[in-house]
Structure 1
Amino acid sequence: MRFSTPPRLLALLSASLLAACSSLAPGPALGLPYQAPHQPEGQSGYTEKPGWQSSRFAVAAANPLATDAGYQVIKAGGSALDAAVAVQMVLTLVEPQSSGLGGGAFLLHFDGRSVQAYDGRETAPAGADEQLFLKPDGQPMAFSEGVVGGRSVGVPGTLRMLELAHQKHGRLPWANLFQPAITLAEQGFRVSPRLHQLLAADPHLRKDPVAAAYFYDGQGQPWPVGHRLKNPELARLLRDIAAHGSKALHQGPVAQAMVDKVRSHPSNPGLLSLADLAGYQPRQREALCFDHAVPPAKVYRICGFPPPGSGALAIGQILGILQQTAGAELPLGRDGLPSADWLHDYTEAARLAFADRAQYVADPDFAAPPAGSWLSLLSPDYLAQRAQLIGPRSMKIAQPGRPAGLLTSFAPMPEQPEYGTSHISIIDAQGRAVAMTSTIEDAFGSRQMVNGFLLNNQLTDFSFTPRDAQGRPVANRVEPGKRPRSSMAPTLVFDQADGQLLMSGGSPGGALIIHYTAKILWSRLHWGLNAQQAIDLPNFGSVNGPTLLEARRFPAATLEALKARGHEMREIDMTSGLQAIERVPGGYFGGADPRREGLVMGD
């Protein structure tokens, strides 16, 4: 073991890891001495996790193979950014339902002095317009109609973004970082219970002949748990990317294969072009940071991703509004769970935040921020004004506010589904940190596979309805070259007094990412829980509709108390995938979500 292993942890690992690959020498073209680790067999469901202590560095990711890749990169002298590249390449292989080369990502990086924000969000093809998801009668498609096929595929950005970030913050050669994923793709990895279950449940992936041949047997059944799955096509592509950089994906035969796949789909073709792929550019943006006070005298600096990310803004609004309510003083209940009174104030704050999100947030190259600054939505005066709308009974559906008295010409975006994603948190031995959330959107994306990886369905994060009944445009409507609004919320937390990094965290989960991440922030900063305890708490939230509680996790009395205050209740499975690493005396403590297969490793 490469970290402290109390008996409880040994029991967990023995249940979640399966011996698979023998040791390999370094590949002839790559220099990293990568050794294939034991492989995952953990159940997909709820598996208790202990949290992990380390002294020098820590890596947290959604799959043990990915975590191990990052661990080995840092042990070989790599930086947090180097490790993030290796982790993401392995996730492309072992967690294809969530993220990969065919998708996008937001990455926050701390270099020891300042925070950098790298935007690898997908873009709409140049040929797309606001009519993309409208049927001939002018009505919006059902979500399922838009997802499967080529129509939903945006220009992928993860690889080019990582390449840009590596040029500035990498320590090891680019080529070395692909050795873990190449090794696993060539030698094979064992199908995990989670991947098997998702393959069995998906009704669309088998319709793509390439995906069917890779993920399913000759009878159309998903490969069983423990089956060794090899991906030589992806291995060849990764070798090419290792040697030639992102142009191996964005130009040449692989780019042509992506375009052909998208444009020739038999029932739902899309608009991706070679020019779209060749012309994609990642963006370096200014991180969105705000102060959060915790009585009696502690102030934290919380940094997240700016628009087109909506996560940091919504989280900042929820935390800031909640501070103005009675909920700010409420501890956890005697049962160790959030009380009905606290959940009332939290979900009302969430309704207000999601109303503003629907009204204002979109790609800043296409939609100006209200009152000239996105921080207008986090102004203390504005949040205090919004908090005044919270009363003893639920407002059920909130209306957007007017920061600085703003009148807007945009229409609110109607609610529609959001899915997908994976989160990585890393802190290296020099204190550099990464919080990165990556995605292909829905599980298995557009269900279109080329060269060993899946294409995204990220364009469905745009509003299917481009205008309201009065003809007012929705800020987050489809436009050529535009980046869709995202809920991804990679987060770094600092001590405001001395600038010391305190935590890296985030989660997958569509629009509920906002609540999952807000949960660990409030639980850690206000209730004093450690990272694992905060992750373990049951999930909750509202996207400006019913109050959502994680099924089978709250007592009946809590539901009844909320109903008595006018809440429309929904108990649902809320499968977060939180990863978090916090600074503690003597080093770091990391937590991984018991609802998924992730773990934390470090020395």
Structure 2
Amino acid sequence: MRRLLIACLALLAFLPAAQAAEPARATKYMAVTANPMATEAALKALRAGGSAIDAAIAAQMVLTLVEPQSSGIGGGAFLVHFDKKAGRTTSYDGRETAPAAAKPDRFLDKDGKPLSYFEAVVGGRSVGVPGTMRVLELAHRKHGKLPWASLFEDAIRLAEEGFPVPPRLGRALIREKHLTQDTARAYFYKPDGTPWKQGERLRNPALADTMRILAADGAKAFYSGAIAEDIVATVTGAPRNPGDMTLADLAGYEAKERPAVCGSYRARTVCGMGPPSSGGITVLMVLAMLERFDLPNEKRLSSNAAHWMLEAQRLAYADRNLYIADSDFVDVPVAGLLDRAYLASRARLIDVASSTGEKAEAGDVPRKRTQDFAPDASLQLPATSHLSIVDGAGNALSMTTTIEAEFGSRLMVRGFLLNNELTDFSFRPEADGVPVANRVEGGKRSRSSMSPTLVFGKDGRLEFVTGSPGGSQIINYVLKTIVGVVDWGLDPQAAIELPNISNRNGPSEIERRADADALASSLAARGHKVERGLLVSGLQAIKILSDGTLLGGADPRRDSLAAGD
């Protein structure tokens, strides 16, 4: 308990003050990532004439090394990409899939009751077939400019020479209790059992060797051959909760290009990720409901503004929890969820002055009824990472990348951690005999809240790029940033540093910091059931001004850095 308290107090030191920092500025290109070493790798690619995709690959390889608890090649990713020359926005789905042998009762005990979270997470049962390498290779094939192998150089060098343990990794190791696998303990802890501390130099020669193979042979070397064999052996041979992943599961994995999900907000066009992510749809639903309210004439995160935002979130999450899952398995009523008349009717349910504080019921979404489902509010812990990049040609990407919970399944292989993505499925496959849309099924992708987002101005010009980690609160972190930039005219740094607020169809969660105390009290007086917490986002944003100047914002709640030339 004392170690956890120390870690929490250390984290509080990184929370933003009431006065926001100045945004980063550039005129050619910009990258924002969750770690300065990853940002520098992205900038190196951009300086060499690389595309936004090239920079993202270089950054992701470094994040696998320096922020291993959050993302990496053992996980998955969603990215939304803007091709300026073609004037086209598209999205790429690298979400992990359940092994073919997975069944809906995967996370039930012998009595048919759901396992506790960590009973399910730790070990091989929670590991999904990783998608990061396939999705990055797919995007590189379409939009890359630099040679694939060159994008691994910084990660290989840092893994060989060593890197200073970043503050966030150091804090995570202090509070971590589930890294019991011998391989993971030998890497993250010293021989005397103490964790590596912030600033100490840590080397990962195993990951350097893995990266060399992937640089030379591409993603195929991850999904077949020796690396794939080691992944399967680690998953199926886990001492705790062995899994059922096979070599055929890995060999058959496909990343998918999907249409971006787009909608309007105050004459802007907002584009995000569709199913299996709930992020893009839910962001658009809340924004559509908020158009009823005069947010631009409210002070930044006033009591009125926060009340309207939280109530719209409550309604949108009620629909999200019922209707959204992997659209390759479930008929997700995307058009109905985004129907303007339907959302106007939902917005009319919001009392402009007060809240009942109760859970909202899902609406009767316009759709062709093919099957009824039960709601699912699966737990998603606030881990994950994000990258926002604009390259020298004006192409841009927003990419959210994850191994799910902090340190994923706690299984390490060849220098990287494996995800626990399957615990994003509902542990309960049905309720009262009605199936849950987000239940486990072989080959299925679990529902996500990742919300990589691009916003286009009234003239169709790309206006800003944003996204965040943070579990099922990601949607609401991104919403806060969009409202801050669009409605209140804030620069991206100032928008990011506003207090975080979130309602996931439950209590209204308000960030625990002094400049949100009065807001929390006023919301409680309006009838909100207020809960205070850290609400650790990892928001990033890049705004493109009309003269081409780039303004970058990086969340001080994490180790993030925005930089450019």
TM-score scaled to structure 1, two decimals? 0.88
- Tell me the residue number matched to 2:298: 331
Letter in structure 2 aligned against 1:315:
V
> Could you tell me which of 155, 175, 192 is aligned with 1:219?
192
Which residue number in structure 1 is paired with residue 317 of structure 2?
354
Give SS of 1:567's match: coil
Residues of 2 paired with 1:587 and 1:414: CA distance? 41
Match of 2:265, SS state, is strand
* 1:170-249 matched pairs, under 5 angstroms: 170-205=144-179, 207-249=180-222
CA 43–600 in structure 1, closer or farther in 2 if over 3 Å, else same: farther
Which residue is equivalent to 1:134? Answer: 108
| CA distance in structure 2 between the partners assigned to 1:430 and 1:44 by the alignment | 38
1: distance between equivalents of 2:280 and 2:273? 6
Instruction: Give CA deviations for 1:128-161 in whole Å, capped at 9, x if unaligned.
Output: 0101001110011111111111110000000100
- 1:9-408 correspondence runs (5 A): 45-46=14-15, 49-112=21-84, 113-205=87-179, 207-293=180-266, 299-325=267-293, 327-328=294-295, 330-332=297-299, 337-370=300-333, 374-391=334-351, 392-395=353-356, 396-404=358-366
Cα distance in 2 between the residues matched to 1:192 and 1:532? 22
Q: Deviations over 1:357-381 (max 9, x none)?
A: 00000000111122xxx13211110
Residue type of the alignment partner of 2:37:
L
Name the CA distance, whole Å, in 2 between partners of 1:256 and 1:586: 48
The answer (yes or no) to whether the contact 1:44–1:597 under 8 Å persists in 2 is no
Whether the aligned pair in 2 keeps the contact of 1:44 and 1:193 (CA below 8 Å) is no
Residues 1:435 and 2:406 aligned together: no
Give secondary structure in 2 for the equivalent of 1:343.
helix
Distance of aligned partners of 1:222 and 1:141 in 2 relative to their CA distance in 1, 3 Å threshold: same
Q: What is the CA–CA distance in structure 2 between the aligned matches of 1:165 and 1:415, rounded to whole Å?
A: 30
For the 8 Å contact 2:279–2:475, the answer to whether it is kept is yes
Paired with 2:525 and 2:215, the residues of 1 have a C-alpha distance of 59
CA distance in 2, matches of 1:102, 1:575: 23
Name the counterpart of 1:588.
550
Q: Which residue of 1 aligns with 2:4?
A: none
Q: Does the aligned pair in 2 maintain the 1:418–1:461 contact within 8 Å?
A: no
- Residue 466 (1) aligns with residue 435 (2): no
Q: Residue 489 of structure 1 is aligned with which of 425, 447, 451? A: 451
Describe the SS at the equivalent of 2:64. Answer: helix
CA distance in 1, matches of 2:295, 2:26: 32
For residues 380 and 167 of structure 1, do their structure 2 counterparts lie closer, same or farther at Cα, with a shift above 3 Å needed? same
The alignment-based identity, stated in percent, is 50
Aligned 8 A contact 2:54 2:145 in 1? yes
Q: Give the aligned partner of residue 474 of structure 2.
A: 513
Asked if the contact 1:233–1:451 (Cα under 8 Å) also holds between the matched residues in 2, the reply is yes
Instruction: Give 1:220 deviation, angstroms.
Output: 1.3
Matched pairs, number: 547
Whether 1:535 and 2:480 are equivalent positions in the alignment is no
Runs (5+) with no aligned partner, structure 2: 1-9
1:287 is matched by which residue type in structure 2? A
What pairs with 1:524-603 in structure 2 (closer than 5 Å)? 524-584=485-545, 585-603=547-565
Separation in structure 2 between the aligned mates of residue 63 and residue 398 of structure 1, nearest angstrom: 38
Q: Against the structure 1 CA distance between its residues 338 and 56, is the aligned structure 2 distance closer, same or farther, given a 3 Å change threshold? A: same
Matched AA of 1:581: I
In the alignment, the residues of structure 1 paired with residue 381 and residue 451 of structure 2 have an alpha-carbon distance, to the nearest angstrom, of 14
Shift of 1:165: 0.6
Q: CA deviation at 1:406?
A: 6.2
In 2, the alpha carbon distance for the partners of 1:531 and 1:340 equals 21
- Cα displacement (A) at 1:402: 1.2
- Deviation string 1:471-511 (CA, Å, 9 cap, x unpaired) is 110000000000000000001111243x2111111000001
**Amino acid across the alignment from 2:201:** R
Mapped to 2, the partners of 1:143 and 1:242 lie a distance apart of 36
- Structure 1 stretches lacking a partner, 5+ long: 1-40, 294-298
Q: Report the alpha carbon displacement of residue 193 of structure 1 after superposing the two structures with TM.
A: 1.8
Classify the secondary structure of the residue corresponding to 1:419: coil
Q: Quickly say closer, same or farther: Cα 1:122–1:415, change in 2 above 3 A.
A: closer
Measured in 1, the distance between the counterparts of 2:177 and 2:466 equals 32
CA distance in 2 between counterparts of 1:214 and 1:415 reads: 31
Alpha-carbon separation, structure 2, partners of 1:105 and 1:417: 15
- 1:200-223 Cα deviation digits (max 9, x unpaired): 101111x11111111111121111
CA 1:47–1:543 in 2, change beyond 3 Å: closer, same or farther? closer
Question: SS in structure 2 opposite 1:126?
Answer: coil
Separation (CA, whole Å) in 2 of partners of 1:50 and 1:95: 25
| Alignment check: 8 A CA contact 1:330 1:342 kept | no
User: Can you list the C-alpha shifts for 1:431-458, whole angstroms capped at 9, x where unaligned?
Assistant: 0111100000000100000000000000
> Whole-Å Cα distance in 1 between the matches of residues 457 and 132 of structure 2?
30
C-alpha offsets along residues 221-261 of structure 1, whole Å, 9 cap, x if unaligned?
A: 11122211111111111110011001211111111111111
SS in 2 for 1:403: coil
**d(CA) in 2 for partners of 1:507 and 1:417?**
14
Q: Give deviations 1:335-366, integer Å, cap 9, x for gaps.
A: xx412222111111001000000000000011
Name the SS for the 1:404 alignment partner.
coil
What secondary structure, in the 3-state scheme, does the structure 2 residue paired with 1:383 have? helix
* Displacement of 1:557: 3.6
Secondary structure of the 1:101 match is coil
- Distance apart, 1:414 and its partner CA: 3.7
CA contact (8 A) 2:122 2:241 kept: yes
Could you tell me how far 1:566 is from its partner in structure 2? 1.5
SS state at 2:366 partner = helix
Is the CA contact 1:291–1:496 (under 8 Å) kept in the aligned structure 2? no
Q: Is the 8 A contact 1:44 1:596 kept in 2?
A: no
CA distance in 1, matches of 2:387, 2:11: 19
Change (3 A) 1:122 1:44: farther
Give, as a single letter, the amino acid of the residue that structure 2 aligns with 1:481. G
Q: 2:124 is paired with a residue of what secondary structure?
A: coil
2:265·2:291 contact (CA, 8 Å) conserved in 1?
Answer: no
Deviation at 1:175, TM superposition (A): 0.7
Say if 1:225 and 1:328 are closer, same or farther in 2 by CA, change over 3 A: closer
